[in-house]
Amino acid sequence: MLFFLSNLALFIGFGRAGFREGIAFFLWVGIFNVLVISQLWALANDLYTRRQGERLFPLLGLGCSLGAWLGALAAKNMIRAAGPYGLMTAGACLLIGCVVLTAWIHHRHAAKQEVKSRKAAEAPLGKEGGFQLIFRDRYLLSIAALVVLLNIVNTSGDFLLSKLVVAEAARAFPGAAMTARARFIGEFYGSFFAWVNLVGLLLQSFFVSRIFKAIGPGGALFVGPVIALVGYSVILVSPVLGLVRILKILDNSNDYSIQNTARHALFLPVSREAKYKAKTAVDSFFWRFGDVLQASGLYGNGSGFCHTGFRCAQSGVHGRLDIARGGARPELQEAVGLAQPRAPDGRCTRDLHAEFRQARFR
């Protein structure tokens, strides 16, 4: 945390001096979000036994959900008054508080341990790396494979939702300026993530502890795949934007609450080295590796969903996803009234996704 705290100080200093630090900060945030959260859960796995963790981890997950919700509200209200560097300064102050709390928790826990246990906890970790631990242990390797597969499924659903949102924006405003479509997409995702956070908070508050008590963390892992199986089966039959929105709210809410807490609880019975090293490798490399595989499946042949035979077409009020038999090239942009010349390699979604990215982050 001290390392990331020093990074924030550098970003604030260089930013106020007039340097363009936006891209570097964006990449840094992606690393920070993964490593700091992973280390927090690794510390919790190290401090608590399996029984204690299964009882207390739902409460830790509730703190994560509340932090995400309150943090979003605070950022929305502070950005106008304090600006981006004011938010960075506030984040640095919060990190200082986290450092103090972490030191206090460690000291408090160590004071309650027996001398033998305290010496074992303070002993330095071995020289084996996280990847060595993962590929040597079938249990850890299974967790890594699970993380990759779950991320592929969830990210594919997010991609499908974004396609339908862009198609609906183009259908609703066929001759309008980019600003109107950007407003539509922004309002859609603002409402979408608000519902995801709310449902995730409710699941974490009232269901995760009961699910852990009834079927344990291992059983809780099946909740996400069941939701995905039922949800995507329904989408195949009726791929309507409103329905996809509801199913993705359930999918993402479960991913941020039940699935997330159960995944971290899987490391409770492993060794101390695995909790700090293998868990960090799983939460960082294998998590992002799922993103890479998903992106490779969509864009590996330069055709996105075109290669799989999916086609977005205009149908009634909503943009819907028609399943095309065979290798017919889907005309996504023509279907939504944005007919443009086509390249012979079937790149039918590239321009539309560039439009989506610009609109979403404007």
Q: How confident is the model at residue 307 (pLDDT cuts 50, 70, 90)?
A: very low
Query: Contact 258/203 with Cβ under 8 angstroms?
Result: yes
Find residue 310's DSSP bridge partners. 323
Check residue 326 and give left, alpha or beta (phi > 0: left; psi -120 to 50: alpha).
left
The pLDDT of 321-328, averaged and rounded, is: 32
Taking a C-beta distance cutoff of 8 angstroms, is the pair 275, 50 a contact? no
The per-residue pLDDT for range 188-207, each reduced to its tens digit, is: 887 888 888 889 889 988 99
Mean pLDDT, residues 333-341: 32
Domain boundaries along the sequence of the chain: 2-299
Output the pLDDT for position 83: 81
Percent of the chain with pLDDT over 70: 78
**Residue 297: what pLDDT?**
74
Choice between 106 and 10, residue whose per-residue pLDDT is larger: 10
- Residue 115 confidence (pLDDT): 54
Which of these, 291, 307, 302, 322, lies nearest to 167 by C-alpha position?
322
Asked whether residue 355 carries a pLDDT value surpassing 70, the answer given is no
CA–CA distance, 354 with 343 (Å, rounded to integer): 16
Most confident of 1-5, 8-12, 176-180, 337-341: 8-12
Task: Say what the pTM is.
Answer: 0.70
Average pLDDT over residues 285-309: 66
Burial of 223 (0-12, 13-18, 19+ CB in 10 A): buried
Intra-chain end-to-end CA distance of the chain, in Å: 31
Average of per-residue pLDDT values in the chain: 77
Cα separation, 217 vs 211, in Å, equals 8
- Give dist(CA 358, CA 236) in Å, integer: 29
What's the rounded mean pLDDT across residues 222-248? 88
Backbone angles phi and psi of 163, in degrees to 5: -60, -45
pLDDT at 279 over 50: yes
pLDDT band at 340 (very low <50, low <70, confident <90, very high): very low
CA distances from 222 to 132, 141, 225 (A): 28, 18, 5
Residue 1 scores a pLDDT above 70: yes
Q: pLDDT at position 71, please?
A: 78
